[in-house]
Structure 1
């Protein structure tokens, strides 16, 4: 017998319902359902009327959904208004009843009406979001560095370029971090904006969890005294049978706007006494890290997976927001089962890298779903690969290769954040 869904009310959450919504959120993520009052009060800072959705059955919240305002950096550095999707859960008692579809449909329609160009999310599971028009647009990798095998000089005491690495505290990170991240975001396709709350959460000034372990903070300053990088990390306490230290430094995040800063911070982490392994946290899949080491094999990829997923809400604005690697034109037939932005579009890229996009009646060169367009949009994936996999269709011979010449980038896009 199919469970009834007409009695389940999907709607925006009111502030008095926030505790029940949070309980459902924690249940969906297999966390302790009830949180202390002080933690709940801290989490209320994320409550924006209309941006939290819930499904209610008999007065109890059984599914959760939150979206918030965000900017995503397109290829070329332009910020694009985005609808960031997070906190998506359905309680185990209410699976397979279409609750996520109802919440997602409502949220994407509202985002389209607001004028957002794309929607974004970090997918906990791969198969869920393709049916809503999302496609994986960036990937991420985590390395584990075997410090003794790196070949680095154990006598290293600081950068050789005249810069320096300094330990700081959370207050310093809150002061210095936003400007540094903005410098990175202006040049890194796939990066997203961070608001004031992000920095408070990252440094423990606001806490969403009952327990919080303070990390170490370090910044790299150039010879001119300019902050060009910072790293946040924690360390365990592990000693071998022979009374030898076998500690691991786990990087929470590392931001650098110059290769010199990046090199110095990784070198610093590998020079800390007692540290024999460094786990890098999520990095770009083409990160420079392994080649900062005399023996690149000392840094082994331990995890590699899809990361930022994108859903295009406005094809014209999305394609005009980014820049292009070569001049040329391409006609794409975009199918959108969600009914938000399908159609046939002419993309024309100029010598200066800018592009224009207009609806057209010309014959299509490529036919693809909106999720596949999102996968190509940030320049990471190859249209030739997608055509070989049967995920896009060439209507004109050689169109996929032509698309790659226009869309692909010399460095891969990367999103440093999880949200």
Structure 2
């Protein structure tokens, strides 16, 4: 009989060891994460003896934006199992309790960065989105000339409140970005523990975005965080980064697959250095479908016949009606033959917008007639989901 619950301070040495053996996380980094997110975010799964730590995870509540609206989400990190117990179901038992806790707390989705896809797919996670690593020579970013009212000025990296207000525009226009808590802001602006240099991108009416960079090292300038939701902010960001051309050979940043900074960069030297996927798991089908936003111009309905072996309340038929950017769950019409039959992992991928309904049907992960596919692709169209926050 295993026991799951909040870890006690006496457990932290054992949990830090699991984090080290599972992910190579040194103790000082573990202590930093625990201090940032709070000791109360750490969960432990005890072995049959009731004392030894068989597995651990960290989880917290946050909002993740889809379709221009915040969706209650459960962030999950540091899932680790005692090496001697791996492959025996301990990890699955741990994650089942994590998912149940998230759903009970009101989260509609669960999100994590994974080390192994098959394990999490069996738990109902699907591919949710990406983080793309871009780089380019500073000169390739261009150096737009200054215009009246332009201003780039330093900001305090330890005061995230004005930056969060600017980032709201980015959240509303993208898919997959989390509403940052204090811990996520600290990791974004102080990625290696030291404050980055933050610059506000200002026009005549005030700040419209910001750029945070770490000190240049070995010919590389790393952008710790970038918020440029307007053409003016993007123009000033390009000008700022191009200004490092005498100091560095390349500028590196994280973004989505259609990153606007990459789109504007010259062909000479701009490249995608890496692409990582994060996973999403819908915990509550009703809550997820009604929490996210939809294209304001789309009016339509769809019946989902979902299958979720882990959460029985997610299995069955859910009739979604969308109008004015909002979705509601309604009674299904008796003559409604438009039904999308889909498992929870594929449903999670469709929900985030990471894959189209047409691609999911082609892969054998969704069953529906052409009219179903066309309706789904209208309802879930939008920006490619991406996230640059690591946890």
TM-score range, shorter chain: 0.7 to 0.9
Deviations 1:327-380 (A, max 9, x none): 222222101011241111112222x23222236475562211111111111333
- Change in Cα spacing, 1:92 to 1:266, as seen in structure 2 (3 Å) is farther
Q: Check if 1:23 corresponds to 2:20.
A: no
Contact 1:344 1:359 in 2 (8 A): no
For 1:217, the equivalent position in structure 2 comes to 198
In the TM superposition, 1:172-183 aligns within 5 A as 173-183=159-169
48, 55, 58: which one aligns with 1:63: 55
Aligned length: 384
Measure the CA separation in 2 of the matches of 1:45 and 1:275.
32
Q: Check if 1:321 corresponds to 2:295.
A: no
For 1:367, the equivalent position in structure 2 comes to 341
Contact 1:345 1:357 in 2 (8 A): yes
Q: Check if 1:13 corresponds to 2:3.
A: no
In the TM superposition, 1:106-185 aligns within 5 A as 106-148=97-139, 150=140, 152=142, 159-160=146-147, 162-171=149-158, 173-185=159-171
Q: What SS does the corresponding residue of 1:115 show, helix, strand or coil?
A: coil
Q: Check if 1:345 corresponds to 2:318.
A: yes
Measure the CA separation in 1 of the matches of 2:343 and 2:234.
38
Q: TM-score, normalised by structure 2?
A: 0.88
- Change in Cα spacing, 1:147 to 1:13, as seen in structure 2 (3 Å) is same
Measure the CA separation in 1 of the matches of 2:76 and 2:371.
36
For 2:378, the equivalent position in structure 1 comes to 405
Gaps of 5+ in 2: none
Deviation for aligned residue 1:64: 1.5
- Change in Cα spacing, 1:346 to 1:41, as seen in structure 2 (3 Å) is closer
For 1:90, the equivalent position in structure 2 comes to 81
Supply the RMSD in Å over aligned alpha carbons: 2.8
Q: TM-score, normalised by structure 1?
A: 0.82
Contact 1:67 1:84 in 2 (8 A): yes
Q: What SS does the corresponding residue of 1:129 show, helix, strand or coil?
A: helix
Structure 1 or 2, whichever has the larger Rg, is: 1
- Change in Cα spacing, 1:169 to 1:14, as seen in structure 2 (3 Å) is same
Which one is further off, 282-291 or 220-229? 220-229
Measure the CA separation in 2 of the matches of 1:144 and 1:21.
36
For 1:304, the equivalent position in structure 2 comes to 275
Measure the CA separation in 2 of the matches of 1:174 and 1:323.
26
- Change in Cα spacing, 1:197 to 1:388, as seen in structure 2 (3 Å) is closer
Measure the CA separation in 2 of the matches of 1:135 and 1:393.
17
Q: What SS does the corresponding residue of 1:86 show, helix, strand or coil?
A: strand
Gaps of 5+ in 1: 1-5, 238-246
Contact 1:192 1:415 in 2 (8 A): yes
Q: Flag the structure with higher helix content.
A: 2
Deviations 1:76-110 (A, max 9, x none): x2222111111111233321021111111112112
Which one is further off, 56-65 or 107-116? 56-65
386, 392, 397: which one aligns with 2:360: 386
- Change in Cα spacing, 1:57 to 1:28, as seen in structure 2 (3 Å) is farther
Q: What SS does the corresponding residue of 1:104 show, helix, strand or coil?
A: helix
Measure the CA separation in 2 of the matches of 1:53 and 1:359.
41
For 2:330, the equivalent position in structure 1 comes to 358
Contact 1:316 1:358 in 2 (8 A): no
Measure the CA separation in 2 of the matches of 1:359 and 1:376.
22
Measure the CA separation in 2 of the matches of 1:336 and 1:230.
42
Measure the CA separation in 2 of the matches of 1:414 and 1:48.
28
- Change in Cα spacing, 1:159 to 1:175, as seen in structure 2 (3 Å) is farther
Contact 1:25 1:63 in 2 (8 A): no
- Change in Cα spacing, 1:297 to 1:366, as seen in structure 2 (3 Å) is farther
